[in-house]
Amino acid sequence: MGPEALRPHRGDRPVRSRAAAPLHRESGAVVIAIGIGVAAWRLVRSLVDRAPSWDRIGKLAAIAVLRTALDDFLMLEMRSDTAKRELPVEPDAVASG
């Protein structure tokens, strides 16, 4: 006698209880949550195992400071160049216009 014989049947179909339906839906959410948890754990483990040295972090910080300084300098140059290109409006030209 197999497990199918122990389940109550209504005709040819097994009887499903209404209480089992929410459990079926919730089990899918649990499986997804476990999968996300495992993925997060693997990500954290890989980051810890491959942590950069302080030397590399220092080099990266120096590069970030240099790029920021160059960006600020170039923005100042572009603003001054734009200001030089704008033609000043003479008050006599506007009044006689």
The predicted pLDDT at position 94 comes to 56
Burial letters for 72-97: b for 16+ Cβ neighbours within 10 Å, e otherwise? eeeeeeeeeeeeeeeeeeeeeeeeee
pLDDT of residue 50: 79
- Tens-binned pLDDT, residue by residue, of the chain (97 aa): 555 555 555 555 555 556 555 556 667 778 888 899 999 998 888 877 777 788 988 999 999 999 999 999 999 988 888 888 776 666 665 555 5
CA 14 to each of CA 5, 9, 26, 38: distance values in angstroms, whole numbers, following the listed order:
10, 4, 21, 35
Residue 83 pLDDT:
80
